[in-house]
Each structure stands twice: as C-alpha cells, then as structure tokens.
Structure 1
C-alpha cells in the first residue's frame, strides 16, 4: 500500500479490503467529501421509506400474477413457483439500497432499488465514519452501525424462534447462520465478512462462536433433501448469499446436476431461510420501475395506491416504460423532446445502457471496459426511463481534480432507512469507473 498521507490511509484494509481494487490504478475513495444539508439527507431517507412501502405493496400485486406475466417481466422460469409465498419477516427484501440522482434544481429522483444483493455496505456503515473523523465533520451515518447490528440480531432471533424442518427439531449449533459468497470476488468477500462481523458483534458471547460462520459458495453442497451442507458436515439454518438470485437459480454442478433448482426446493420445503429472500428478485428487476409507474398511471391506480402514495410516486419516481409501451407513447406523440435511458432488465455496472432521444434514436452508449466480465444475466428486454440532467461536482481523486456526477443512496434495514452512501463518476451514467465519495452533514 502506498502511503499518500490523506484520510484514505486511515481505512483498515482488513475491514475494507478493496480500497485498492485489483485491476484499477487508483484508490476507490475520493480524497474530498461531499457535504449535504440535514434537510436533504432527511428527505433522502423519508423518500426511501415511502417508496419502499409502495414497492412492498406492488410486490404483493406481482406475486398474485400469472406465470405468463412473470415471463413478460423476464423472471427466470425456475424462480416463478417460489415467489408466491411469504418469508418469516413478511418483507420482500431485508437489506436493500435505494439509488437517487439530483436534477439541475437539486431535486431527488429515484433511478432504481438494489433489493437482492446490495453492496457498498462497508463504505456506508464503516468508511463514512472514518472520513468524517479525519475531517472532523458531522457523520450522517453516526448511529448506522448500531442500527445494522440491531437489525441483524432481530433476524437472528427470529430464526431461532421459528422451527425449521431439519429433522432434528429446533435450530441448534448443528445448524448455524451462514454468510456466503464466491470468495475470489474481493468486494463480495469483504461485504459478506463485514455483515457477519456485525452480527457477531450484536450477539456477543450469548451464543457459541460457531453459530455464525462464513463459507465460500465453492465449499457449499446441496443434499438430496435440499438442505445446504457446510464443509464440516453441518447444515445451514439461514444462508446470507451475496450472489444474484437470477443467476443462482441456474447454477449446475460439474456433473450437470441442477443445483439451483435443488437449492430452491430445499428452501421451499423449509430446510433453511434465505437472506435476502427469493422474492427480492421482483424489486431487483429494472422492469419493476416500469410496473410501478404503469400501475400508478392506470385506471386501477386509486384501488392500489393511496393519494399520498401517488403523490410520492409523482415526486420521486421517473417516467419509466417497458420498451413496447415506450413505442406506444412515441407513436402517439406523447413524449416531450428529451433524452431517455434504455437499461437491460438484468443489467449491472452500467453494462448495455444507451441514451436515446424521444424518437428512439441513439444519442450515446455506455462504454464498460471488459464488459464480458460483468456478472449478469442476459436480458432480452429493456427498461426505458427518463434521463435526468444532473449538476456537476468537482472532487479530488488519485487521478487529480475531476468533474463528475453523484448517485445518492440510502440503505434500508427492512422498512427503516439507515446509512447513506454516494458514488461519483466522471460520466453521467455510473459504471465500474465510479469512485466512492463520503458524505458529511453540511
């Protein structure tokens, strides 16, 4: 590690192992912080909570839909039968991150929700505190780590209060709470271990240390009864998995066995709990934004949403359409002369994103280096969402002073807003080139 004598050197690389990310010349954090007013941060959290409640309501509508509708939404065929049940918390996602951008008047607009496998946990719940301490600024995430611990302990306690069909009765040390990812992804491993440590900090010495463990996906097995087996022979009671559900369902063994299907059948039969639960895939689909927008502008809107909810949708969500509906709007001449973003339904890291005009003509396309290395499911369909002209910011990085754009995020612990986070990108559409920029209360 090169000593540059700035705040980034105060970050513990054991906690935050991807400050220097393999394959990138420059360190991941910006040297400068961004200051936001207390009122802006309060609005970010309030909007996240209101939209989350709306999204939960739409998820319930989605779960009652037919397989044909789910196919139209590009939900993998193998997942559909598992999306009609509720999990032990009654929430479609337990840990999520809502992403917003500012427009030129500094108004917030949601662009998407990361409901299945949200990252940036270390940045928000640990790193932001370190930056604020160094610069002696007020930390907007001051209490967030305690909130995270309390939420994880709640999940842990609920797990232990519910009987799971594991042939041995109630959950015991033979059925631990397992945190898992593919360990050769340094960001995934760091995030997974951070969450595991937060739970261990929360439960302290109340339980044996081997009740909460890490296991690489490479080491896990699926037994014939669908239970998840650890290398030591024990089976998981809860599995936190930092691996996209739309990919997990189609995992196979070297012998060609349908591991994903066996895994999900075990979940369906109560062999273990999943964190995040399978139905997080519903909100994770970028098509979900179009579904919410469509319902809010349909003749059923008043039967699904309250007046306040419709006002929240109008205030914070962007006009979003499935491609076929966008074409109808085009043909009818309903679209004003402005730009639109086309996003693949299962796209990640900005991969495959295009900017088009109201006639659908290509304006620009997001370039992602090594795009074939981005882990994502192929998409046949796209979301078309209104493009937001954002204000520019100037921040110091290892590259020098850069002009760029912010994406603001708020983590949701269940239904409760918690830590805030921000990405900074020299490009209007953030991708793998984006920096993390800490936030302070101005």
Structure 2
C-alpha cells in the first residue's frame, strides 16, 4: 500500500459535477482530493476482499446471538422495538449495503474499527467518481470496485417484490442528497420506479394504519438515509410494527449499527485477527484505547488515549453510553491518516473507498482519496 502524490486534473470540479457529485468541496475545503491516490497490488486487494467477507459473516452470526441471548438492553435498543426487530430478522428481510471501516497499511490482517451498517455515506464517490478518475488517470490499472454493478443486481432482485420504492433523507444536506439520488439512479437502472421524499414529509394515515406520501399514496417500500435510533424516537416510530413497510436498511440492522456490536463481536470471537479487543464501559480496557459512543456519526465524541496523550472530538452523542476499543495506529503517510471503507452490497464484498485526515479521527470533512491496484 503506497500513497502517491500526483497532479489533479485541471477540470476535476467539472468532471465530478458531470457525474452528479457537486459536494466535492465542503465548508470551503476540498473533500474529493485527487492530489494523491493509494496504490495496492492484487494480493493486497484479495486480503481486503477476504477480510470483508469474513467480517460480514461474523456480524450476521452476532445478530443471531444478540437475538438468541436477549442482549438488546446492552445495546440500548428500546424494548417495544425488540419483537419488531426480531421478526425482521426471522423473515430474512434483505440488506442493501454496509461499510466496514478498516485500519490497514497493506500488511498483516486488516482491523475492523467499526461497521457503518445502517446509513453509510461516501457511496457515489466510491462507486462512480473514483471509477471515472481511474479511466482518466490510471487507464492501465484496475480498482477494487464492483459497487455500482452489485447495487443494480440487488435492485433487480428487490424488484420481484416491489416495483416502486420511496427514497427518503434529510432535505437540506447536499451530501445526503448525493447519496440518495445516486441510489435512486441505480434502482431506476434496475427497472424500479423511485420516488424522492424528505424524511419529515412522510405522513401517517391512522384509518388505514399505513405511512403515506404527500399525495396520501401508501408507502410499501422505503429506503431511508436516516438512522434507526433516530427513527425509533420519532413520534411515528412506534407505528412501524403496525404498518410493516419494507425498509432498507431492515430493522435487524439496528443491532449492527450500534458500536456496542464491537464489544459483542470480541466477546463472541475473542482473538480473531480482524477484530480489536473491545468492551462495554463496565469492563474498561487496560492500556491505550479509543472510547466511542454507542450511537454517533461522522467521528463525533471520539476519545483516543495513548498514555498521557489524548485526542478527542466534539459532538452531541454519548447519552446512551460508550464502549472501549483497543487503540491501533492508523498508517501515517506524511501526516495523512487513511481509513479504508470496505463496502458490502447485497451480502457480498463490493469495493473500497479511502478517507484520510490530518488526525486519527475521521470526520465529516475528511478527504476522499481515490485508489487503484496493479498485478503482483
């Protein structure tokens, strides 16, 4: 794994906007950063592929164990939602996607930092934007990236049950909109009729016991770029078991979108080479650690403690509790710390996207840097 410094394309902004990515600059700073790229060889890509498949398998096993052992209180999942969640798992409701965040420098086993199992973003830049970059800048190389094809294949299977799908997100977020509109496009390519709807425009029709759009049409299938823990706390959250719309991500993903799953995975598979030691706060780790809220996003409220040295980020999370995870250093390329986001689509490894920052906490504005690989 190498970080290569290179010249950005003169018209890179226009090229990104031409493929639908207009959030390439955030708060005046570059988000899409092609002044560098990461180089792998095929053997390293095989390692990432295998590790992602293995972690996905472990996570599915962990869901079954949480349900079997009734560990919902450990994850702060409200009791009223447990039968709904359990039924979702037992029905085998499909999962569209997820993203494992990995620490890896190209040697040894990749280590799982966390699993973005419910509302992962940085999708269009991983699936499409860096693919077009590859064609322009590294035409003789390859890329670990079948995300786009696997998304369309998922929607083709999903279309057998739902010919139209509503896509909901936060209306005033350009990044969220970019992710949702990209997914709508992949669904359209698979023959599904997609409909955009702001999350707060979803209505409840009490007489029919169903969720509806602004024209009072029933919502049978819904993709929501909106966290499960927020959804359950909404006024209409308790109506979900009554209406039973088909949701992506499904209700059982609540188990995996909670950072408590890191502790549970270590408890179930202690010593696994792709996992880091982790524990709930009642069993604090000795030595250097990272403290993470059970529920948080975009690197908020993270504390890294290495001896007397502490790095922490601000935020509004932590009221539901924390977990501890053994600290593992991120690769350091001249002061740039990359995290590899390895995607699972339709249950299969699908490719990677890399985010990097000047600190070891990856946040909302951390840069996306493209990658490629060559034969050994």
TM-score, normalization: structure 1?
0.77
1:92–1:280 Cα contact (<8 Å) kept: no
Q: Specify which structure has the higher proportion of strand.
A: 2
Q: For the structure 1 residues 362 and 81, does the alpha-carbon distance in structure 2 shift closer, same or farther, using more than 3 Å as the test?
A: farther
TM-superposed CA distance for 1:422, in Å, is 0.7
Provide, for residues 269-299 of structure 1, a one-character-per-residue CA deviation record: whole Å limited to 9, x for no partner.
Answer: xxx20010011110111110101111224xx
Q: For the structure 1 residues 34 and 9, does the alpha-carbon distance in structure 2 shift closer, same or farther, using more than 3 Å as the test?
A: farther
TM-superposed CA distance for 1:91, in Å, is 5.5
Provide, for residues 88-126 of structure 1, a one-character-per-residue CA deviation record: whole Å limited to 9, x for no partner.
Answer: 972673311111012595641111111111111101111
Q: How many Å separate the matches in 2 of 1:393 and 1:128?
A: 20
2:360 counterpart of 1:417 = no
Aligned match for 1:286, one of 259, 270, 285:
259
Aligned match for 2:282, one of 324, 327, 344:
324
Please tell me the root mean square deviation across aligned C-alpha atoms, in Å.
2.4
Q: How many Å separate the matches in 2 of 1:11 and 1:124?
A: 12
2:145–2:350 Cα contact (<8 Å) kept: no
Structure 2 residue aligned with 1:189 = 177
Provide, for residues 228-272 of structure 1, a one-character-per-residue CA deviation record: whole Å limited to 9, x for no partner.
Answer: 211222111210000000001111xxxxxx2111234312xxxx2
Q: For the structure 1 residues 131 and 103, does the alpha-carbon distance in structure 2 shift closer, same or farther, using more than 3 Å as the test?
A: closer
Aligned partner of residue 330 in structure 2, secondary structure: coil
TM-score, normalization: structure 2?
0.89
2:331 counterpart of 1:343 = no
Structure 1 residue aligned with 2:309 = 363
Structure 2 residue aligned with 1:135 = 137
TM-superposed CA distance for 1:134, in Å, is 1.9
Larger radius of gyration: 1
Structure 1 residue aligned with 2:327 = 387
2:126 counterpart of 1:153 = no
TM-superposed CA distance for 1:158, in Å, is 3.6
1:93–1:279 Cα contact (<8 Å) kept: no
TM-superposed CA distance for 1:325, in Å, is 1.8
Q: How many Å separate the matches in 2 of 1:107 and 1:53?
A: 16
Structure 2 residue aligned with 1:260 = 237
1:238–1:273 Cα contact (<8 Å) kept: yes
Stretch moving more, 27-36 or 56-65: 27-36
1:76–1:246 Cα contact (<8 Å) kept: no
Aligned match for 2:98, one of 84, 96, 99:
96
Question: What stretches of structure 1 of length at least 5 have no aligned partner?
Answer: 161-175, 252-257, 298-312, 330-334, 395-402
Q: For the structure 1 residues 440 and 426, does the alpha-carbon distance in structure 2 shift closer, same or farther, using more than 3 Å as the test?
A: same
Q: How many Å separate the matches in 2 of 1:76 and 1:316?
A: 30
TM-superposed CA distance for 1:78, in Å, is 4.3
Structure 1 residue aligned with 2:10 = 5
TM-superposed CA distance for 1:420, in Å, is 1.1
Aligned pairs, how many?
A: 365
Aligned match for 2:268, one of 295, 319, 322:
295
TM-superposed CA distance for 1:148, in Å, is 1.5
2:190 counterpart of 1:217 = no
TM-superposed CA distance for 1:319, in Å, is 0.8
Structure 2 residue aligned with 1:241 = 224
2:330–2:339 Cα contact (<8 Å) kept: no
Structure 2 residue aligned with 1:274 = 247
Q: How many Å separate the matches in 2 of 1:91 and 1:123?
A: 27
Q: How many Å separate the matches in 2 of 1:416 and 1:383?
A: 28
Provide, for residues 341-393 of structure 1, a one-character-per-residue CA deviation record: whole Å limited to 9, x for no partner.
Answer: 11111122221111235xxx76313234xx35xxxx54332111111123212
Provide, for residues 286-329 of structure 1, a one-character-per-residue CA deviation record: whole Å limited to 9, x for no partner.
Answer: 110101111224xxxxxxxxxxxxxxx62111111112122xx6
Provide, for residues 118-152 of structure 1, a one-character-per-residue CA deviation record: whole Å limited to 9, x for no partner.
Answer: 11110111111121122124241454322211112
Aligned partner of residue 194 in structure 1, secondary structure: helix
